[in-house]
Chains A and B, each alone.
Chain A
Amino acid sequence: MNATHSTSSSGGSGIGSGPLGYGTPTCYFVMIGTKDNPIYEAEFVSVNTARSSSGGATIPEAKKEEFRHLNQFIAHSALDMVEDIQWSTNQMYLKSIDKFNERFISAYLTAGNIKMLLLHDAKGEDVIRNFFNECYEFYIKTLLNPFYEPNSVISSPAFDTKVRLSAKRYL
């Protein structure tokens, strides 16, 4: 279940050998509303990945920019896996549900059917669980705001700051 795309590649090839599948060393966090609409997106360069990837080929910034859309594609397609797996557990944290080349997709399903997805390289489950839990808390606080309409884009800079801080702490 976890590996729809098995890593057939030994030499860095695979589905992403083309430019579409460029492996970016950043984490990508997205919250997705009930209509498959992203309500919050963020990309973090995590300390761990930055270090681990420093040995490999350095990626020019421009390239990184170009393939940001891939994150969106991957996250969106992972929603199918969330829907498959959500009935098989009573946990909100669904752990790593999908995999695209070397990148894992961890998911967290809130009670309001808002999905939080994180694209990341292999990492500890607990760390990601903590990160998700904090983000969920931030999200609940956002929901308390009477001017925030549920399922709409979260544009609050405070929320963004908090998520990024939390990401810096955990990821």
Chain B
Amino acid sequence: MASFQQRSREFSARELVTKVMSPRIAVVASQGANELCQANHLASVVDLFRPFGEHIEGRVTVHGSMGLPSAIDNFTLRFTEMDQLEEPDAKSSERWLSEIVRASAIDFEDRFQIKSAEQVTPDYLHAPPERVTPWYAKYRDVFFMTGGVSDHETFEHPVACVIAVSSLSPDPINEIHQLNNLSTPSIVFEKTFMDPTLLKYYVLIHDCTKGNLDNALETLDRMRRTFGLHCNILKINSIDPESAALPKERNAHIWARSVAQSKILAMGHAAKDPATARNSLSSITSTGASGTLADLTSQRSSMSSPVYSTGSNSPIFAQNPVFAQLGNDEEDGTFDQEPMALPPSGNQSLNLDLLLRPEVPREPYGCCMSNEDVNAIISVLREMLAQSIIPYMERNINHWNEQVAASRKGIAGRFRRYFGTGSKGPAAAQQSPMTGPNGGVIYPHAAPEAQMRKLADWAFMLRDYKFASSVYETAKKDYASDKAWKYYGGAQEMIGLCQLMAPQQLGAKNDVDHYIESAVNSYIHKAKSPFFGSRATLLAFELFKQRNMYRESPVTLTRMTAEVSDLRNGLFLEQAAHCYLKLPRPSVRKYAFHMIMAGHRFNKADQKEHAYRCYMAASLVYDGKGWGLADDHISCALGRQSYQLGKSEEVLDHYKKLLRESRQSPQQQAVYMKEFLSVYRDYTNKIEADPLRETFPDFPLPVVLGSTARIVLSTSQATNEHNDAWAELEGNALAASNASGQRTISAVGEHVLATVNVKNPLQIPVILTDVILGCEHSTSTTMFTVPVDAAEGAHLALYDQQSPEFQGKVSFAAFDCDRIDRIILEPGQIRTLTFEILPKQEGQIKVMGLHCNVEGQVHAYKDIVKRGKRLNKTKEQMMAIMYDEDKSLDILVAPEMPLLDVQFHSSPEMLLSGEVCELSLEINNRGKKGLKNLHVRMSHPTFFCIGEKKDQGDLGLYNKSEGSSATETIEVDNSLQLTTSQRILDQILSPGESICVPTWLRGEKIGKHNFLFVFSYESEQDGTAMGTRTLRHTISAQVLPSLKINAFTRPSTKGLNEFILGIETENLQTVPNFEFLQISSMSASWIIEAVEKSDESEEYRSIAPRQTVFTYYRIKKSDQATVPALTPERFMAKALEKLVIGQEKLKDVPPSLDLQLCHLSTTDSHINSTSPVLKYFSRTSRLGWRQVSLGAQFSSIPATVDRRNLFSVYGSNDIDLALFWNIPKMNRRGHHYITGINLGVQQNPFQPLDPADELEEGSEETARRALYEQTMRDQAALVQALTMNPHFRDESPVKISMRSEDSIQHPFSTKHLCNTPVRVVIKNCSWNKHIAYTLEMLSSKDPMVPQRVAGASGVSPNDSTQIQDSTNPHTNAHPFFWSGPTFSTGYLEPLAEVEIVLLACFTQPGMYDINRWRLAVQVVKSQRKRKNAAESKKQIKVEDGDGFEDVNLDGGSASSAAAAPQGIGKGFMQMPNLAHYIQVSSS
């Protein structure tokens, strides 16, 4: 018995079908019989029988249509009150069903959490459906109970009628007669499709404690005699509950469930028929003891959920204007106030409770029953079934089969139907079909079609499926031809079920689904009978499940979705969803989609809990995949449902997800926003919090772009441009400040600007109010530990501080911070918010996040998260993505510091090239401490000269001295050191003090310039955290072209080492006249001097617009020049050699150099060089040029080598020119520099040093060895690059000049030959090269060597006829000859000079070009190697076979030096390139 309940819960699908389609037995009981049952707290005899009828244990034998016996286990009989044969009130049963489904959602926990196919575990697959979806099973069971008699089938028609009387009745026989009469004309049987002939079965109920058994048995005998064999006696109530010691509830579990069901059914019927309602109500109330009822009510309220307690759903909701409004236009009816609410009746809730928890009996059902009594009921039922009902059914089946079905079979039978053989008697009226209320056909019960159906149904009940199926098939055709769609659908349904019920396997290609589909279509679309459609679906689904036909199941289930009941649809869709999971390859996405649809339907059916549950389950699948619109739909649905369910915390979570960037339309987002705000208002009202005080955790708006957050000092300017330039300028200063780790350093009392970018991700504008930075202050400057809720604390402090007089600023103990009252973020807009922070205490301030109120209703706090750079050092860091800690949002607050502010006054926007303007630099200390050590670094040091304050009085730019020309000697620093950092002040600038420093700006280069300055300074107080502070400043100016100056030099013919300087000056301006003031030269060894002017000086002085003026000067060696011991060239050569041989550190810098300044003025006074400004400009200009040219020439030298130790600024042969001008009308003045004129011998500064020169023997050896040891390739490459430097072309260091009288009078008449001495001066101009030369004088007939002198003088080289005289365009008319020695060799030390006197011999008067010679120059070793040279002398001479005799005119040292040149260097061949004419005339 204990297993009874359990077995009844877990029946198989086949059992379910047999139970649903089992014979129905109507019961008519006398009042006395019912009273006997009521002693057991059971309302009636039906209640007494019902649980036993559901499951009649044991096996009964049934003879099938062929007469073959077969055994059936566990037969079911359904007992019903005679007046409850029809279906209960549809509305009330709907309501019950929905309450049942709703109630079973409470406290349900989804154990499986299906996210993906991995969660579809065997655990899930084998879980009984009652545990996965308990509401479905409950719904199904109750649903089948709500059926009633129908015209098209006979399962709900009673097969038999049980008439029960009490043995206590004084006249049982009479009572039975009365009941018999009562049962037959029952209202139900007035319908034509009901067959009133029933099997009658009489039961005498005997109360063992009250009645006499002998009397009862006698009565039974009398009954048998009167009514036949279908009579039986049932003995019950053998125990008196008052006296017995047995617990009253021992049997209650047997009845509890069925009693609850029957009460609900009674309610349903009562709702339909008011008259009976009263009866059943009274009967129910009579059963309940008043005490228990109260208990139950209280119990019920304790488990109450909002659904129960509120009747109408969520009163808050209705009051809420937003939702109330929404409810009206919302299509999906989320907010419809369905009149589904139950009237608050205690009885109904009681019944519901009984039904939901039948396991816990409330009343001692069957308290009078002993075990024998219970067994007696079972045996009576078994007897009735085996001996009366089954034989009766078998008999009828056989009868109908012979009478009706057999005649239908075969072609004759079909025709007979149409041609109507039958008698047109009174039976015909009963047999002809009539039209039903729905427009369908209704056959009367006597009609052959109806009888066919009954035959098949009964065969089905007796489980003869094959036979039943064949009968259905036959009947189906008739129904189809009569367009009796309900009948047709029923037949199709049964054929399908027969196939599924049959024990054998279905074929791979079965058309079961086709039958079910056809049945459902007929039921729903044609017969409008959704109940039967649903029943067919449910039964088919159950059988499919049993056969593992999960692929067909969802199809079957979703087919029903067109039908009206949202609840049923929801349940079916959910079942379909689970079917997808049970496929061989679990289709999780189909599952999710169906869950969504189920949730939608549940929502419409007002089953919020289920809707919420379904959406939640589905959201697990969709979560994190990025289906934006789908996610929004889910979040929105979940938000609304959880709101209605009163889960306020979750509501906010769901709505939060909606406020993000998505493809939703702006209108939709506006709706979301509105709903969210209203929900949040409700929530805060509920928890009684101030929404502006409490922070909404993780609120999605606004989006703070943390990576772009910055902190800058308020003194910085132009922060965004020229970042590289700044970085270069700040190179040193930054290195110092980086010691404190990227933190911004500010001082107490100085403003710091924090900029944060916020973004509105939505497509609707968002208003932010009361925006403030969440900052933390810590007194320690090194460690920073922020308590977790510190930001919150800051916010609260802020909140409490709010007051009307509060002016955009919030004050804390350690700092003040700006507050932004209100900003509107347009859709998708990114805005930069700037906050000013004023630190008031030493320590550290960390910017943590952003507080703001969104739409004035929600307070949000957003962390500002900024990452450092990505780490990539260790393998671990490379594998994972790790970031450095970022400290750029920390502000280190130093004690009070000086704060510099600079300003350039009268800075011109435009100036001419070369023009010099005077500016004034105002330096202002706005800080609280004295300022010292003010330095500046400039991006354009050649443009600016910043003076010193003390010079203000006497510092002029163009200081004048008397005299139109002058020479000065000044000593200059020759080291290539540009003082990038210039010191401005050497005094302490006290707080608040301001001084002006004169500054000059010279337009060095044409173009638009941005001048960047970095000022660095320190506090007068030592040891502050800040050390050096820097300030950036920038000004810009445009430099326009003024004069275009070209200078050129050419060797002077006058002197051996003299040049002519030509200067071509062009005025590029269109308006002003430039006035030429002065030219100054600067050189170590050269000076300029004026040439004799042939024109008026006035013309030189003024240059009209667009005019060009040429001026000429002579450059010659200065007499006063003193050549220092270590010339710059020598220094460079040595330094380069050291570099090449790899001396690690070059420390030397070039020594200072004396410069000769020569001023040539056009006026009476000249501008002297005393002005430091001029010195500065000339030096920076020279430096700038030198650095650029060195950079181009020696790009091969690695950048790591400090060029200051390699090169000098000035060379000894360089000459720089300065041209001073002014524009009197515009009061502009300026000067141009011409730098880089080198008048020395062109040669590569990298010279293989003559060992004799400087280096000691020993050191030379080590140097050489070092060179050998250095075998590194880059060293070789460096040497190669230096020696093959394309920027230098060695030229012959030898200069040669011929001197002779220009015209000679010679009496040719007396002397035929005219001998004239010609002096040839040969000078070695090189500072380091020793040379050997060979001079060969050529006669006018001698051919030159044109090949060596490529293109020497403009004669095209391919013109072979002129090759001979290519260097001499004017062939001497008469040849002349050199007499005496014409060949000279010699040796010259550096800067040595030799003069050779030759004799030219003329035979006739005329013009002669005597510049006919050829000079071979060979660089040789110095004289210290003379011995070696002498040894090789002979050898050379032998080779020089046809050479001339050595002629030694000079004697002395030259004789031995003329020895064969040792070829260590290059050789040069020189030719005359100008003609030197001598006029020889006859006197």
Contacts of A8 on B, CB cut-off 8 Å? 517, 520-521, 559, 561-562
Task: Name, among B332, B580, B589, the residue most crowded by chain A CB atoms within 10 Å (CB to CB).
Answer: B589
B332 touching A20, Cβ below 8 Å: yes
Q: In the docked arrangement, what's the CA distance between A15 and B665, Å?
A: 25
Contacts of A78 on B, CB cut-off 8 Å? 589
B667 touching A62, Cβ below 8 Å: yes
Contacts of B580 on A, CB cut-off 8 Å? 80
In the complex, A113 has a CB within 8 A of chain B: no
* A18-B601, A20-B600, A74-B593 known; A80 vs B588 contact (CB < 8 Å): yes
A69 touching B585, Cβ below 8 Å: no
CB-contact partner of A76 in B554, B597, B627, under 8 A: B627
A72 touching B627, Cβ below 8 Å: yes
Majority secondary structure of chain B interface residues (helix, strand, loop or mixed): helix
Contacts of A48 on B, CB cut-off 8 Å? none
A69 touching B633, Cβ below 8 Å: yes
* A80-B589, A83-B585 known; A35 vs B625 contact (CB < 8 Å): yes
B562 touching A9, Cβ below 8 Å: yes
Contacts of B477 on A, CB cut-off 8 Å? none
A73 touching B596, Cβ below 8 Å: yes
Interface flags, A77-92, vs B, CB<8A=1, else 0 = 1111001100000000
B555 touching A4, Cβ below 8 Å: yes
B559 touching A73, Cβ below 8 Å: no
A76 touching B555, Cβ below 8 Å: no
B559 touching A6, Cβ below 8 Å: yes
Q: In the docked arrangement, what's the CA distance between A18 and B521, Å?
A: 19
* A10-B525, A17-B561, A36-B625 known; A76 vs B592 contact (CB < 8 Å): yes
**Nearest chain A CB to B1371 CB, angstrom units:** 74
Q: In the docked arrangement, what's the CA distance between A19 and B329, Å?
A: 13
In the complex, A25 has a CB within 8 A of chain B: no
**Nearest chain B CB to A70 CB, angstrom units:** 8
Which residues of B (647-678) have their CB < 8 Å from a CB of A?
663, 665, 667-668
**Nearest chain B CB to A35 CB, angstrom units:** 7
Q: In the docked arrangement, what's the CA distance between A78 and B517, Å?
A: 23
Q: Which residue of A lies closest to B559 (CB)?
A: A8
Interface flags, A17-50, vs B, CB<8A=1, else 0 = 1111100000000000001111001000000000
B554 touching A77, Cβ below 8 Å: no
Contacts of B420 on A, CB cut-off 8 Å? none
In the complex, A5 has a CB within 8 A of chain B: yes
In the complex, A54 has a CB within 8 A of chain B: no
Q: In the docked arrangement, what's the CA distance between A38 and B630, Å?
A: 11
In the complex, A53 has a CB within 8 A of chain B: no
Q: In the docked arrangement, what's the CA distance between A69 and B597, Å?
A: 12
Contacts of A66 on B, CB cut-off 8 Å? 331, 668
In the complex, B1000 has a CB within 8 A of chain A: no
In the complex, B622 has a CB within 8 A of chain A: yes
**Nearest chain A CB to B660 CB, angstrom units:** 15
In the complex, A126 has a CB within 8 A of chain B: no
A77 touching B626, Cβ below 8 Å: no
B668 touching A77, Cβ below 8 Å: no
* A6-B555, A15-B558, A18-B600 known; A80 vs B587 contact (CB < 8 Å): yes
In the complex, B604 has a CB within 8 A of chain A: yes
Contacts of A65 on B, CB cut-off 8 Å? 665, 667-668
Q: Which residue of B lies closest to A16 (CB)?
A: B561
Interface flags, B491-511, vs A, CB<8A=1, else 0 = 000000000000000000000
In the complex, B629 has a CB within 8 A of chain A: yes
A77 touching B559, Cβ below 8 Å: no
Contacts of A5 on B, CB cut-off 8 Å? 555, 558
CB-contact partner of B625 in A17, A37, A83, under 8 A: A37
Range, interface on chain B:
35 or more
* A19-B332, A83-B585 known; A38 vs B627 contact (CB < 8 Å): yes
CB-contact partner of A18 in B332, B629, B663, under 8 A: B332
Q: In the docked arrangement, what's the CA distance between A74 and B592, Å?
A: 10
Interface flags, A135-171, vs B, CB<8A=1, else 0 = 0000000000000000001000000000000000000
**Nearest chain B CB to A4 CB, angstrom units:** 6
Q: In the docked arrangement, what's the CA distance between A71 and B593, Å?
A: 11
B630 touching A72, Cβ below 8 Å: yes
Which residues of B (626-640) have their CB < 8 Å from a CB of A?
626-630, 632-633
**Nearest chain B CB to A15 CB, angstrom units:** 5
Q: In the docked arrangement, what's the CA distance between A96 and B632, Å?
A: 28
**Nearest chain B CB to A105 CB, angstrom units:** 12
CB-contact partner of B626 in A19, A20, A37, under 8 A: A37
A76 touching B561, Cβ below 8 Å: no
In the complex, B590 has a CB within 8 A of chain A: yes
A73 touching B600, Cβ below 8 Å: no
Contacts of B593 on A, CB cut-off 8 Å? 73-74, 76-77
Q: Which residue of A lies closest to B525 (CB)?
A: A10
CB-contact partner of B629 in A4, A62, A72, under 8 A: A72
Interface flags, B607-648, vs A, CB<8A=1, else 0 = 000000000000000100111111011000000000000000
Interface flags, B571-613, vs A, CB<8A=1, else 0 = 0000000001000010111101110110011001000000000
CB-contact partner of A20 in B588, B597, B622, B667, under 8 A: B597
Contacts of B663 on A, CB cut-off 8 Å? 41, 68
B630 touching A15, Cβ below 8 Å: no
Q: Which residue of B lies closest to A21 (CB)?
A: B597
**Nearest chain B CB to A3 CB, angstrom units:** 8
A153 touching B626, Cβ below 8 Å: yes
A17 touching B562, Cβ below 8 Å: yes
Contacts of A9 on B, CB cut-off 8 Å? 562
Q: Which residue of A lies closest to B626 (CB)?
A: A37
Q: In the docked arrangement, what's the CA distance between A52 and B562, Å?
A: 24
Q: In the docked arrangement, what's the CA distance between A9 and B562, Å?
A: 7
A76 touching B632, Cβ below 8 Å: no
A84 touching B562, Cβ below 8 Å: no
A4 touching B554, Cβ below 8 Å: yes
A18 touching B604, Cβ below 8 Å: yes
Q: Which residue of B lies closest to A9 (CB)?
A: B562
Q: Which residue of A lies closest to B587 (CB)?
A: A80
Q: Which residue of B lies closest to A22 (CB)?
A: B331
Q: In the docked arrangement, what's the CA distance between A35 and B668, Å?
A: 28
Q: In the docked arrangement, what's the CA distance between A78 and B592, Å?
A: 11
Q: In the docked arrangement, what's the CA distance between A71 and B633, Å?
A: 12
Contacts of A15 on B, CB cut-off 8 Å? 558, 561-562, 597
**Nearest chain A CB to B528 CB, angstrom units:** 13
Interface flags, B662-704, vs A, CB<8A=1, else 0 = 0101011000000000000000000000000000000000000
Q: In the docked arrangement, what's the CA distance between A78 and B594, Å?
A: 12
A69 touching B630, Cβ below 8 Å: yes
B558 touching A13, Cβ below 8 Å: no
Contacts of B626 on A, CB cut-off 8 Å? 37-38, 153
B332 touching A79, Cβ below 8 Å: no
Q: In the docked arrangement, what's the CA distance between A19 and B597, Å?
A: 11
Q: In the docked arrangement, what's the CA distance between A13 and B530, Å?
A: 15
Q: In the docked arrangement, what's the CA distance between A14 and B625, Å?
A: 28
Q: Which residue of A lies closest to B513 (CB)?
A: A6
Contacts of B628 on A, CB cut-off 8 Å? 72
**Nearest chain A CB to B553 CB, angstrom units:** 11
Contacts of B561 on A, CB cut-off 8 Å? 8, 14-15, 17
**Nearest chain B CB to A69 CB, angstrom units:** 4
Q: Which residue of A lies closest to B561 (CB)?
A: A15
B331 touching A19, Cβ below 8 Å: yes
Q: In the docked arrangement, what's the CA distance between A71 and B580, Å?
A: 20
Interface flags, B509-536, vs A, CB<8A=1, else 0 = 0000000010011000100000000000
Q: In the docked arrangement, what's the CA distance between A139 and B1467, Å?
A: 70
Q: Write 10 A-B pairs (CB below 8 A) sorted by A numbering.
A: A6-B555, A8-B520, A15-B562, A17-B562, A19-B331, A21-B597, A35-B625, A37-B625, A76-B589, A79-B589
Taking Cβ atoms with an 8 Å cutoff, the residues of A that contact B are 4-6, 8-10, 13-15, 17-21, 35-38, 41, 62, 65-66, 68-69, 71-74, 76-80, 83-84, 153
Beyond known contacts A15-B562, A77-B592: 5 more, CB 8 A cutoff: A5-B558, A10-B525, A19-B331, A20-B596, A80-B587
- What are the 8 closest A-B residue pairs judged by CB atoms, nearest first? A77-B593, A80-B587, A69-B629, A72-B630, A13-B562, A69-B633, A19-B331, A37-B626
